[in-house]
Structure 1
Amino acid sequence: MLDGMPLVDAHVHAPRLSTLKPAWREWAVEFAGRYDWRAAYDDAGDPVPAALDALLESEGVDRALLFCEYSPRATGIQPIEDNLPLVEHNPVRFRLVASVNPHLHHPVASEVERQLSLGAVALKIHPVHGGFSPSDKELYAAYQVCADRGVPVIVHTGSSTFPGARARFGDPSLLVDVVEDFPTLDVILAHGGRGWWYDVAAFLALAKPNVWLDLAGLPPRRLPEYYARFDLERLAAKWVFSTDWPGIPGVARNARALTELDLPEELLRGVLGGNAAKLFPGLGI
């Protein structure tokens, strides 16, 4: 709990550093600043389950969704299995998020099923780092699995600074057909259309009941600027608190910064944990 409110961080990266390209580590150091995320790692660069658990506990995080990624062209391959020790240490706080790349996984539906069988509560698609369109019909089989299982799909939208990324695949408008073809599938736009596409992402979230915005990597104090053309309270009803840990100045710091937006308490509770509780199965908060 953070200041009496349940807190879910729905976008956390805690990979083994040996699986990453140098640009990822440079990103984490630059955006974390003085935030000591390395305290949760050992000298070999592997996350220490007890240390990460204690760090997030100290920041009031009740649930943390752990991402994996299969993007050899941009960041590296961080298999879902690497996150299993964290979940085994604290299966209440830590939850898995699956990921597939159609260039690497075939058939994608089978791989999604396999990763969901490990306990994943969502599927993450990273078209910008993977170099594919999120509307690729090959991914429809993966979306169908998630729709059938009641599991949301998180899709990276917006820009990326990593070498090898393809920003054009971050356009949220590429997901219009997906959202309409799978009306029962909740689609979460990670990073809220960061960069060129804030308006597109916000419009989709307000127009479609199954579209949500993840706030990962977005400084809370700048949200009114990013979404200046929209009613902020109305849009906040579709926000899911996320940080992009460890590339942040602190989870609690980001969460408390949201309180400075003067959102009604009920709406703020939804952003910090309530919306995630509705979207991700079995969070239990």
Structure 2
Amino acid sequence: MIIDTHVHAGEYYRHYSARFAQQMTATTDLAPEDLSAPEAKLLAEMDAAGVDRVFLLAFDVRRVEGFSVPNEFVADLCARHPDRLTGFASVDAGTPGAAERLSEAVTDLGLRGLKTAPCYLRMSPADRRWYDVYETASDLGIPVLIHTGYTPSRQADPRFFSPLLVEQVARDFPDLTVILAHLGTPWTGPCVELLARHANLYADLSIFGSYQSLPTVAKALAHARGSGVLDRLLWGTDFPFASMTGSVTRMAELARDPGPWPDDSPPLSPREYEALMGGTAARLLASAAPHAAPAPRPNR
């Protein structure tokens, strides 16, 4: 099974602001209008890439960016395609009632994880305002995906880019499963070492694995292998910011070709490749049992 663990729901104009879309695509070959993942486009991309399931992310940044991809929107999509889509809620700890909104998203809407965007919200992931949210996530048994690393959004606060800010969270919530997005790019080395210090931490390869050179990706994977945490890395793309088909092709090359790899490190073994591309993600999902199975609502 292939699972993309970092996929954005939402559609340009309907959810994202033009300003945000322009900033986020400025350093890519994408047009702002490409920052859109309508239902048909998402499913077609999954089929073309051979992706069985995705973690589909809500995105609550209304307080700073002026927009959100709502939990209800993601839940509706997931209810229509429960065999393909696993929804992650999003809440903003800078607004009152965030923990309660998370609980409702899981128990009432059937979402099975939490996506947070601390730097976009101009607050640290270790800000104590998040702690009620983390406590609720821990009680619900769901994983928390935290944005770490650089973002081109000009409203985001670069003081909160570093993945090392999550270390205090890992210490204070040792039973909470936390996924660090983007392998903390460009702090990929410190991110790997952070995982080695805390067994409850995972990281996804979204953006990093899709755009960095294959030798750069192979070097990071070799570092993770040597640190004993390769089995806690998750393949992801950040679609629609990156192509699933292109990323699957790149990862297959890293399992086949020794060329990109450091001299002392072989390509991904079949077991490593299977775990990275979906096995580890499936294990995380199995440990986060669904709390509700809402009926699908009409497409709108």
Same fold (TM over 0.5): yes
Structure 2's unaligned 5+ residue stretches are 255-266, 291-300
2:218 to 220, 224, 234: 224
Q: Which amino acid aligns with 2:111?
A: A
Aligned pairs for 1:77-116 within 5 A: 77-104=68-95, 106-116=96-106
Identity of aligned residues (%): 27
More moved, 109-118 vs 214-223: 214-223
Q: Distance in 2 between matches of 1:237 and 1:75?
A: 37
8 Å Cα contact 2:180-2:201 kept in structure 1: yes
**Are 1:269 and 2:265 matched, yes or no?**
no
Report runs of 4+ in structure 1 exceeding 4 Å deviation: 225-233
8 Å Cα contact 1:53-1:90 kept in structure 2: no
Cα 1:8–1:228, aligned 2, differ >3 Å: closer, same or farther? closer
* Per-residue deviation, 1:154: 0.7
**Are 1:126 and 2:87 matched, yes or no?**
no
SS of structure 1 residue aligned to 2:208 = coil
SS of structure 1 residue aligned to 2:139 = helix
8 Å Cα contact 1:23-1:163 kept in structure 2: no
Partner of 2:17: 21
Partner of 1:3: none
Aligned residue pairs total 267
Cα 1:236–1:228, aligned 2, differ >3 Å: closer, same or farther? closer
**Are 1:62 and 2:52 matched, yes or no?**
yes
Partner of 1:251: 244
1:191 to 178, 182, 190: 182
* Per-residue deviation, 1:156: 0.6
Q: Which amino acid aligns with 1:108?
A: A
Cα 1:29–1:90, aligned 2, differ >3 Å: closer, same or farther? farther
What TM-score do you get using the length of structure 2 for normalisation? 0.80
* Per-residue deviation, 1:275: 0.8
Q: Distance in 2 between matches of 1:124 and 1:16?
A: 18
Partner of 2:298: none
Q: Distance in 2 between matches of 1:174 and 1:271?
A: 25
Partner of 2:201: 211
* Per-residue deviation, 1:225: 4.4
8 Å Cα contact 1:28-1:246 kept in structure 2: no
SS of structure 1 residue aligned to 2:115 = strand
8 Å Cα contact 1:16-1:82 kept in structure 2: no
* Per-residue deviation, 1:231: 4.3
Cα 1:233–1:137, aligned 2, differ >3 Å: closer, same or farther? closer
Q: Distance in 1 between matches of 2:157 and 2:197?
A: 27
1:238 to 232, 238, 245: 232
More moved, 125-134 vs 168-177: 168-177
Q: Which amino acid aligns with 1:200?
A: P
Partner of 2:259: none
Q: Distance in 2 between matches of 1:125 and 1:276?
A: 18
What TM-score do you get using the length of structure 1 for normalisation? 0.84
Q: Distance in 2 between matches of 1:60 and 1:113?
A: 33
SS of structure 1 residue aligned to 2:5 = strand
**Superposition RMSD in Å:** 2.5
Q: Distance in 2 between matches of 1:29 and 1:75?
A: 19
